[in-house]
Structure 1
Amino acid sequence: MKKRIVTTFAAGILAGIGLMSAAGFSYAALTKIDVSVKPISFMMDGKEVQPSDREQQYFNGKNYVPASFIHQNTTYVPLRFISEKLGYQVGYDAKNGIISLGEQNMTEKEWTFDVIYPSDGAQPVISPRIQQWFDDHKNQEFTGSIWDEDGIYAAVARGQKPNGGYGVEVVGVTERANKVVVKVKYKDPEPGKMYTQVITHPSTLIKVPRTDKEIRFEIVKE
């Protein structure tokens, strides 16, 4: 894949909109530099993580910006994205031009969430893209999330089951220092109880606010 050359990237906006960081970055606020944008993958603990829902883009809270670029053989990436994935909190003092890092000591925060499926009878209002994504996964064993303009959608599916005794429910969503945890409760057939013998595909779809933290799933035991 050819490198794409960007010739008028203003270095002075990096800290303000993306908190991009690398050793030796000391250009004046209005210096223009030539950079090349080359796709890279981010791996943490052997698992690939995505900067956002857009390929090779990072969402900084207001705009999508390049997830990385190369200048003079040095690769620059969003400091906030990397640091928060590692459990650090990033602060930016725009007036004095100071970026600070510190351990995140936030307490767990419970989020409200909307249950899209199963619905309470009303037809859920979601984009065709989200509906297609959910339809593609709801009949197999699956946990995953996808971004949309109005939030992040998280789905849990248990695959094909032989009767109506199986179910799945999201019982809570918790924000932690470097991730958001979707807590899931499974329902299994009770011993000795009769169930309708029909093929089912237990699944659920919820919506939570947008965040750049990783969405993870935890099974809650009784």
Structure 2
Amino acid sequence: MRGKTWMAVALSLQLLAVAPALAATGGTQTATVLVDGKAAALQKQAILQQQKTYVSAADAASLLQAAWTLDGQKGQLKLGERTIVFQLDAGTVTVDGKTVAGGEAALVRGKEVYVPLRWLVEQAGHEIAWNEEKKAVEIVSKAQNDAFVLVDEKQLSKEEQDFIESVKGKRGVHQRGDLYVIARGQAPHPGYGLQVTKVEQKWEQLFVYVKQSEPAPGMMYPQVIAYPYLTAKVKLPPYTTISFIDADTNKPLFEGQAQGQ
């Protein structure tokens, strides 16, 4: 792999003079999340609780390309090969069924669940550190290559968004310029997903490994039609080709699979 992909997530903490007192008493203050210098397209505003930044569970799933489900008092985040469960009424958290040292519980504000950003980024296998020069928290992603970057479609042009809308329900890999849409096709509920697990550069070939995640055993999902898909921008060097590989079979993605599998 040629270098590491840097995904800057700047947490501009707009604190008032009373912020230390708020932290000491358990109060909250809002925080603005910036991605690559631009405001992230978050559905809910991030908050600062006791000097830690929390984002809504749905926004965390979007930022980390994970899948979030909520069943009563149990919230589950499917993060690659890891399953993180937040037991909201007990204030506990487990990873793959085991309590982990340093695990940080979720917060509930009204009907919204907020999860700890830094801890989740580390669980995703990325590195996170404060960049004093940029006054930002900087995340170093180990799962991406400089040529391949997952993007938030809300930050794309109207034409690109229309293209995504036209192909997201069709199983396959769809391309429009440097924009790629990896679509699993129609699924019976949101328990099915897609996850980029690795990107490799070998000579004049770029390999993108994608895992087709399955519903978690025992979890209840709303019975609504879903269309799992990922969007990415790819900047290929001259004479370089790209291949999408199934992370479980090491065969071309979706090879021999019919719609609905």
TM-score range, shorter chain: 0.3 to 0.5
Greater Rg over alpha carbons, structure: 1
Q: Considering Cα pairs closer than 8 Å and 6+ residues apart, tell me whether 1 or 2 has the greater RCO.
A: 1
